[in-house]
Every structure is written in C-alpha cells, then in structure tokens.
Structure 1
Amino acid sequence: MKKPYLLLSILSGVICWLAWPTMPLTPLIFIAFTPLLYISDKVQHRWKYFGLLFLSFLVWNVASTWWVGNTTLPLSGVFANCFNALLMSIPWLGFKNTKRKLPERVAYLSLIVYWLTFEYIHQTWEFSWPWLVLGHAFALRPGWIQWYEYTGTSGGTLWVLLVNIVIYNVWKRARLYDFTAKQILLGESWKPLLAIGIPLVISSLISPPPDDPARSTEVVIVQPNIDPYDEKFSAGAAMDQLAKFLHLTEEKTDSNTRYIIWPETALFPQGAWEHELNYQPEVIAIREMLRKYPKAKLISGAATFKRYTATEEIPMTARTLNDGSRWDAYNSAVQIDTSRNIQIYHKYELVPGAELVPYVGYLSFMQSVALDFGGITGSYGRMPGVEMFTNPADSINVFPVICYESVFSNYMATHIKPGANLLVIITNDGWWGNTEGHRQHLQYARIRAIETRRWIARCANTGISAVIDPAGNVHDPQPYWKQAVLKTTVTPEAGITFYVKNGDLVSKAALIFCILLVVHALLSRFIPGLKHAEINQ
C-alpha cells in the first residue's frame, strides 16, 4: 500500500478529531472527508480501499471516544471503537461500488444517501452508537445550526458531506485544468462559499420564540459528586447518600421551588420493587422534606425492579425468580411529591454492553455478560413506564431523559410530541472519569434544546450540571467533580418545532433513495445493459 494513501487516511481521521467537540476547530469538518474522496478516486483494489477506510475511521473513533474504554473492562472500548469504525466504512464501500456503475454525480449523491441511512439505522438497532453522528460536530456552535429545529442532526450530516464533496470537486477541477489562483478565486470559490454560507445565513435569521416570564419555573439541581466506582453502589451506603442529598437540597430549596432534581440512580442503588416504593425509607424521608415545600416535586434517578403478573406481556429481558415468577430491572426516573402517587419512567435507549446485551432474546445465554454498571448485572428491561411526568397544578409536563438517551435526536423528539414542555436530563458521567466523555455529553444536549425548542435542566452526579435554553446556550455550568447545588429558573415551552411534528424527513428520504440504489445494484447483475446505463446528468 502506497505511503501517501496511508498518510491521507490517517489525516482524514485526525481532521475529524480536531473538528469534533470539544476541540475548537469545528470548521475543519468541512474538509475532513476530502482525503477519503481522493482515495476513492485513486485506489481500485477493494481490500486496500477498505483498509484505508477502516484506518481513517479507527483514528477518528479512538481519538474522539477512546474514553469509552476508561472502565473496569478496557476491552469494551477497544471493541466499540473497532466495531464503529467497521460500520462507518460500509457507506463508503457502497459509494465506491456505485461509482463503478453510475455517473459521478449519482455516486456522490449515493455517498450522502448511504451515510444518512447508516446514521438512521445506528440510532434504531440494539448496537446503537449515535455519538459520532456528523450533525453533532456543530454542538459548540449553536449559532450555526438554529435550523436544526427543521431537520435535526441529519441536516447537519447532509451539510457536512455536501460541503466536503463540493470542496473536493473544486480542488479536482483546479488540478485537472491547471487553474491559477485567480481563476480559482473568481470562478470556483463561490461554490463552497455558497454551500457553507447559505445555512449560516438561514441560521442567523432563525431564533426561538421568546420566553413567557409568567411561566418561569424555579428548579433546584443537586450535583452530589459521589464516586460511581468506590462509593455510589457500596453495600449499606444508600441511607448515608440520601442524607447527603437531603442536606444539599435544603440549602437552596424554598417555597418558590417547583422541581428538585437529583441525578441518575440517586435512589435505591441496590434496587427496589416498584410496587413497594411508597414503603421505602428513602421515599418516606423525601416526603417528610417535601412537606416543607408542598408545591415542589422531586425528580430523581432510581434503580427499580418490576414483577410481572400472569396477565402482563413478558419481555425478552425478563428474569426468573426461584418461585418461577418473572421480573425485570430498570434504570428509572421517578417523580415524588407529598401524595402517594409515584410516577415511574423506564430508560429505553440503553448503552450496549453496559446496560444491554444486544438481541438478548436471540442470545439468551449472554444475559449475564452486561458490565456491572449501575449496581445491577445483566441487561436492563426496556418496557416503557410513563411517557412523561405530569404536573397539572402548574401545567407542566416533564420528559425525563436518562443519560445516553440525550444523544438520540429522534427518540427525544418523539417523546416531546405528546405534550412535554420541559426536559430534564439526569446522568452519571463519572463512569468515564475526567475525559472528553462528560464534556461531549453536555454539548450534545445543546442540540437537543435547539431541535425541540425546550429548556433543559441537566443534573449530573459528578458534573457537568447546568441549564440550557431553547437556543442552545448553556447557563450556570457547575464544575466537574465538585459538589454543587444550582438554583435557577427554566420556562416550559408549548410550541412544537417542524422536526418534532414531522420527524426526521431527511433520513427518511435518504432511506428511500438507498433502497432504490440497492435495488438498482441487484437488478444490474441480471439485466444486460443496466449496469452501464447512462443517467442524464
């Protein structure tokens, strides 16, 4: 394999990393794939081409998300980075194949279509890992992407790929016709400038609707800074931790507070049966505190167990007790007030390997191999709980988002649509240590705020806790690995964005085109002349 191609492959991966949050060089994303486009033109050997693709994407994955292996089982990170790099190579292999059979413009369209389809699938199957969706590249630049309220992150992916293709073709034409710098400046530069500039201009013209001061709602966010490895799930530590939560909460809670927010798995770290929650000492102590603040509701992460009755649907993740009854463990969020009505939400988008053994229904023997994160081994259940936390007295509906779920554009938009007007993200980012993991996670939440035009109250066990407004601006971020209590206000929003109302139309269109291209590729094997048919350009 020629050395220049190896260097170009590595260069592409490095540029992707330098452009990725939280690195400051975001504009580099617009040239990140030009080296791969050149390799696609020059390298004809299939396996050499695949090797160069895989190397490039491996460099990007390792440089940007090496921290996924910063756990008690580092091999999990090695597998995640390698597997994701392999998947990322597939759209480019399809692009190369299409390029051999169809005109160049159609081939470039196919690259965009294949990649968007890959990202769409990667958010919907059980090996999901949408962390490196290209549209997330602009998380540090919310002013560039206010139009995400129409397209979601898939619009950003389309933008990135289109600009890379335009810039590469300008460079290729300049080389082919030996343009002078003046010819490039006057005759070609308008193309990438237009491709980059139009979305920026559109973004500058879009802003979220103004807040209604009368709807301003006071929240208290508690960041306890409890070590998830050495302290959080220690036997017998639950009540000591509860005392810490209660003490921190009362530092800033008053009669105006409407929501108190605790992080992921703050309650019942060893698990508690859902039908017995009203009798748990933690719940009794919380209600005793809430009697001082009767208008407040507490939203907290919790580890819960659910026992299924004979008449209920039994999911594939269910486990069996000694008496033959079936049950599930859940990573949950609960809303507690002074009444006996506890609303329970179950996390659905689970982390593969840590919380979910993918397709465990078909590989039941793998049930016990999920990493011991969150105090419970084996796959968590995925049966839905309540859709959102209701608060009729204040006309507020909260969608509680647990950790990894905040990376999923489609999932969050789908759950806003039924009427949620405020987002609460509870998370425990301490698993990955002081790495880019928790910083990237915070930045992605800014995109969710823009897509849904909702205020977000973000509560993280070890940081970074903050609030995010509907324009994607972060307010009052609390330092990582520091105990903190944040008292602030958010505003429930009633409007529905185009993206929330209509879903991810960009990806759905790409999926249709992808099917057509695959059908054409299959038919070309059997119909003479179709393989080399010309398409009007």
Structure 2
Amino acid sequence: MNAFLRKRFPLLLSILSGLLMWAGWPTSPLTFLVFIGLVPLLAVTDRVKDGRTYFGLVFLAFWIWNTGTTWWVGNTTVPASGIFANAFNALLMTIPWWGYKRAIARAGRLTGYFALVVYWLTFEYIHQQWELSWPWLTLGNAFAMRPGWVQWYEYTGTMGGSLWVLLMNILVYQAWRRGQHEPGWFFLWKEGWKPLLLLILPLAASFFVITGESETSEPSKKVVIVQPNIDPYDEKFSDGAAMDQLHKFLALTQAKIDTGTRFVIWPETALFPQGAWEHLLNDQPEIMAVRAFLARYPKVKIVTGASTFRRYLPSDEVPSTARVLNGEIYYDAFNSSIQIDTSLNIQVYHKAKLVPGVELTPYMRYLPFMKKLALDMGGISGSYGLTPGVPIFFNPDEQCNIFTAICYESVYGDFVAEKVRQGANLLVVCTNDGWWGDTEGHRQHLQYARLRAIETRRWVARSANTGISAFISPRGEVIDAQSYWQPAVIEHAVTPYYHQTFYVKYGSLAAKAPLIFCILLVAYTIVLRVIRKQYVENI
C-alpha cells in the first residue's frame, strides 16, 4: 500500500463501514452484510490513536449508515429536521464506540470487546426509553425481512439479534487479524470455524423453533382492514373533509364486511382529524354515522385511529403537556385509537410512544417555553399529551383483547410485549406513513411489524392510510400486502393466541442486564483510574 492510501486508509474504512451497514439494512436483500459491516470500524479502533480523529471517523461511518437508511425522515415540510435527526442519532451511536476505545486501551482486547457489547446494548435499551427515542436502527431490526433466520426472537427479542450482529463482527475481525500471520488453510481451520459456527447455530435454532410449534385449536376471527389512501398533506386535514372521508371508509368497509366479520380496522387519525372532546364522543356525527352502519352488523367492532381532546377539571392534576383554551380550560390533545360498537361504550387508547420533534417536544416539563416547537404535520400541531387511556381494548364477548400500536409504537418490541403481558392476544397497527412519501420509510415500517409478530406469537393486522396494509402471521409471514398509494380493503381470519412467549414474560428483565453490566464497567473504570492515580502519586 502506497503512502497516500496508507494515510487515508482509516477514512476509507470508516466510509466502507457506513456503506456496508446501509447496504445490509431492510429493505435491501443483502442482509448478510450486517455481519461484517462493523469490521472496518474495529480495524479503525486499532489503527487510529488520536482520540478526536477516531471519534470523527466513527461518527462519519454512523452518519453514512443513518443517512442512507433513514434519509426519508427529512421528507417533510422542514427537511432540516431529517438532517438533524440523522446527525444526532449518529452522534449517540458513536458514544458506545468511544467507551470501547478507552476500554481496550486500559484493560485489553477481551475486556474491550465485552465493553463494546455491553455499551451498545445499553445504548439500544436507553434509546427505547427516553424522550429522544429513535430505535429504528436497532441492530436486531436488520433481520426484519428474514423471519426464517430469527424465529428465536420469541425468546430474546431484537436484543438477541443485536448481540448476534455484534459477536459476528467481532469474531470475523478476530479471525481476520490472526489470519494475517497464519497460512490460509491453517487459518481457516484454527479461526474461521468460530464465526461460521456462530452463524449456523442461530439459523439452526430458528429452524427447530418453527418445527417445534404446535397447531392451535382456538377459534379464528374474521378481520377487515381498510386502506383509504387519503393524502395527508393536501386532503386529510382540510376543513370540512371529515364526513366525506368517513363515507369513503364506510364504502370501502362495505365491500368486505359481512355477518361473520368481528373486527374492522381503520388507520391512524381516520376519525376527527381536527379533534373531538372525549367526554362528548357519543354526540359526534361521525360516531352516530358509524353506529348506524353497524346496526346491520351488531357483532362487529371498529378499531380506528382518531384525534381526541381530554379536558381537565379544576380538581385534576394538570400535566406539563396540557394546553390552555380561553385562558381557563386546560386540556390535552392525543393521537388516539378508539373502539366503536353498537353500545355507548367507546374505549379510548392514547399513543404513548410519541415521535420526538413531531408529536413531542422532549423534556418539555423542564423547558415549558418550547411546548409549541413540535413540527406542524397537519391536523393538531404541537406536542401531544401522555396521560394514559385504556391499555388495550378488552372484548370478553369475543375473547379477543386488542392492542393498537399507533404508527411509531410498532417499532418498540418491549413496549408491545408489555401490552401482551397485560392481556392482548391480537395486535393491530394503525398508521399513516404517507407523510414520508414513496420512500423506504413505509416499507421498513411494515417489515419491523414482522418482528413484533414473532416476539409475541400474535397475529398483526396492519391498516396504513396510504399503505402498506397487510396481515402478518405469528411466524412473521406477510399476507395480502396492498400496493402503496392505492385504496384497498382486505379480509382474513386471524386467531387470537393466549400463551405468552419467553420474551413476553421475561424480556424486559433480560433487557436490563446490559445496563447493569454497563454500570459495573463504568464503576470499575473509575475505581481503576483512582487506584492508578494514587499509585503514581505514592511512587
């Protein structure tokens, strides 16, 4: 290698790492590239001694990966929001690698690898919990298009996939390092078998998990999904359009509904695009029209997205998200889902995982003057409320309890598993991915729902305003996926399952293990530094 390339080799490695991770991410068919996508960064860690240069190179790799896979988040009225989101997420991803660099320098290679795994898994765990959450690029999501590879997610969730990716990259890099000093065949015999074994074992486990499943005799429920294809920018939130859109929903529903239907699913914010007071829902013309329609099908329940308002009484504790009307009425706006039937009982669920910068101004309770800074994407603007509604829709008459993941919520494995622990035996996704246009956004979002099905072994009924609507089986198989930007209505018989997977029961506890190890590692590093400092001073 000449001097010119040798000097710039770490930069080339950084770029290569970002490109490999991008090329291996859904919806690319080159999934296997994620098993080597971080190898160049491991080489950069060994080659670059200067801390600032190293930090910059790692950030560059993650910025390329973020931008290549999620550039579409800036496909809004404020493109700068996407630039900031990709750069900020890349910056956060760089922090675990900075910790790895310091660990390998202070405690050796084996401890460094252990630290990298612990720091990265801790980062992924925190990134699902705080208000700046963006778990779209959780490493375990890489296998969303390969459900046959990860049927064991019912035991580990996506954390198991993230661990698989990290360990594969580490073993491939170690084999490559040692292979520099060994003859080819001897190298393959001595080192190459390790990453090969780690690759084969999870694939074999996935096969045995599938073959070991038993058929259920539980009765199925006929479900109808509507995809209305209403433009979210120019049509959906326009004044006076609510009833016209409702008529479209009812007409599409009529094409598939019959006396055997039990549930009809409509997408996010299908009702009340301008908002409706929750204590007055039964008086809304849309609700009365829906009930008149359901009079012909009294056993049907409609699960739909809606925009709602909750008013707080003087005796209530007013949350920091509350808005003020006429200087005296405090209320919250919610991205909700509701279940409607022929009774007067309307169950209302409030979206809990809000999109930072669009639906939520992070940590607004500490910075109340920033309350109105959430992006205006049409309809109700400003930060939404976080006051809980019902956790799931209970239907004892049908023995079918539904959790409705609203849009972004379907990316959160732990959150969905929590709802299954609370009794949900059918998962619904109500979403409106039309904000991002015909980009990879809506395709990736569909694929991620396959992982939720595998983790919980629940059917998923996905209604997307502009697509892609589909059914997803408990094995992660996509059924009857509809074309993007086309109105559609589909039906399928789904089975509400009752057993809980290992991940549903214990996954939240396992996810905290890296956090505990991270705290211990940081404490160990601090103690070691203090001891060394005291030792040097005493010499």
Residue 160 of structure 2 is aligned to residue 172 of structure 1: no
Question: CA separation in 1, counterparts of 2:23 and 2:373?
Answer: 35
Q: Which secondary structure state, in structure 2, belongs to the residue aligned with residue 215 of structure 1?
A: coil
What amino acid sits opposite 2:170 in the alignment?
A: I
* Match for residue 191 of structure 1 among 191, 194, 201: 194
Question: CA separation in 1, counterparts of 2:475 and 2:153?
Answer: 10
* Match for residue 136 of structure 1 among 135, 141, 154: 141
What amino acid sits opposite 2:229 in the alignment?
A: N
1:153 maps to which residue? 158
Answer whether contact 2:417 2:503 (CA < 8 A) is retained: yes
- For residue 527 of structure 1, report the CA deviation from its aligned partner: 1.3
Q: Deviations over 1:206-258 (max 9, x none)?
A: 02844535511101100000000000000111111011111111111000000
Answer whether contact 2:223 2:491 (CA < 8 A) is retained: yes
Answer whether contact 1:255 1:293 (CA < 8 A) is retained: yes
- Mean Cα displacement is larger for which, 317-326 or 159-168? 317-326
Answer whether contact 1:242 1:282 (CA < 8 A) is retained: yes
Residue 204 of structure 2 is aligned to residue 201 of structure 1: yes
* Match for residue 36 of structure 1 among 35, 38, 41: 41
What amino acid sits opposite 2:60 in the alignment?
A: L
Residue 286 of structure 2 is aligned to residue 290 of structure 1: no
1:64 maps to which residue? 69
What amino acid sits opposite 1:10 in the alignment?
A: I
2:526 maps to which residue? 522
Residue 452 of structure 2 is aligned to residue 448 of structure 1: yes
- For residue 380 of structure 1, report the CA deviation from its aligned partner: 0.2
What amino acid sits opposite 1:309 in the alignment?
A: L
Q: Deviations over 1:151-181 (max 9, x none)?
A: 1101100010001000100000111x2x222
Answer whether contact 2:221 2:493 (CA < 8 A) is retained: yes
1:91 maps to which residue? 96
Per the normalisation by structure 1, the TM-score is 0.97
- For residue 325 of structure 1, report the CA deviation from its aligned partner: 2.3
- Stretches of structure 2 lacking an aligned partner (at least 5 in a row): 1-5
- For residue 503 of structure 1, report the CA deviation from its aligned partner: 2.2
- For residue 275 of structure 1, report the CA deviation from its aligned partner: 0.4
Question: CA separation in 2, counterparts of 1:330 and 1:531?
Answer: 58
Instruction: Provide closer, same or farther for how the CA distance between residues 372 and 211 of structure 1 changes in structure 2, counting only shifts above 3 A.
Output: farther
* Match for residue 380 of structure 2 among 376, 390, 394: 376
* Match for residue 269 of structure 2 among 265, 268, 276: 265
- Mean Cα displacement is larger for which, 165-174 or 205-214? 205-214
What amino acid sits opposite 2:154 in the alignment?
A: E
2:3 maps to which residue? none
Question: CA separation in 2, counterparts of 1:161 and 1:531?
Answer: 36
- Stretches of structure 1 lacking an aligned partner (at least 5 in a row): 533-537
Q: Deviations over 1:397-434 (max 9, x none)?
A: 00111000000011111111011100010000000000
What amino acid sits opposite 2:139 in the alignment?
A: L
Q: Which secondary structure state, in structure 1, belongs to the residue aligned with residue 466 of structure 2?
A: coil
What amino acid sits opposite 1:241 in the alignment?
A: Q
What amino acid sits opposite 1:197 in the alignment?
A: I
- Mean Cα displacement is larger for which, 192-201 or 59-68? 192-201
Q: Deviations over 1:118-161 (max 9, x none)?
A: 00000000000000000000001001111111111011000100
Question: CA separation in 2, counterparts of 1:273 and 1:530?
Answer: 65
Question: CA separation in 1, counterparts of 2:531 and 2:329?
Answer: 57
Q: Which secondary structure state, in structure 2, belongs to the residue aligned with residue 200 of structure 1?
A: helix
Instruction: Kindly tell me the number of residue pairs found equivalent between the two proteins.
Output: 530
1:535 maps to which residue? none
Question: CA separation in 2, counterparts of 1:346 and 1:365?
Answer: 24
Answer whether contact 1:36 1:53 (CA < 8 A) is retained: yes
What amino acid sits opposite 1:181 in the alignment?
A: G
Answer whether contact 2:278 2:309 (CA < 8 A) is retained: yes
1:416 maps to which residue? 420
1:341 maps to which residue? 345
- Mean Cα displacement is larger for which, 319-328 or 344-353? 319-328
Question: CA separation in 1, counterparts of 2:213 and 2:398?
Answer: 20
1:238 maps to which residue? 242
Q: Deviations over 1:428-475 (max 9, x none)?
A: 000000000000000000000000010000000000000001111100
What amino acid sits opposite 2:304 in the alignment?
A: S
What amino acid sits opposite 1:123 in the alignment?
A: Q
Instruction: Provide closer, same or farther for how the CA distance between residues 114 and 44 of structure 1 changes in structure 2, counting only shifts above 3 A.
Output: same
* Match for residue 474 of structure 2 among 457, 470, 475: 470
Report the aligned-residue RMSD: 1.4
Identity of aligned residues (%): 60
- For residue 390 of structure 1, report the CA deviation from its aligned partner: 1.1
2:22 maps to which residue? 17
Question: CA separation in 2, counterparts of 1:271 and 1:18?
Answer: 41
Question: CA separation in 1, counterparts of 2:100 and 2:192?
Answer: 26
Q: Which secondary structure state, in structure 2, belongs to the residue aligned with residue 368 of structure 1?
A: coil
Q: Which secondary structure state, in structure 1, belongs to the residue aligned with residue 187 of structure 2?
A: helix
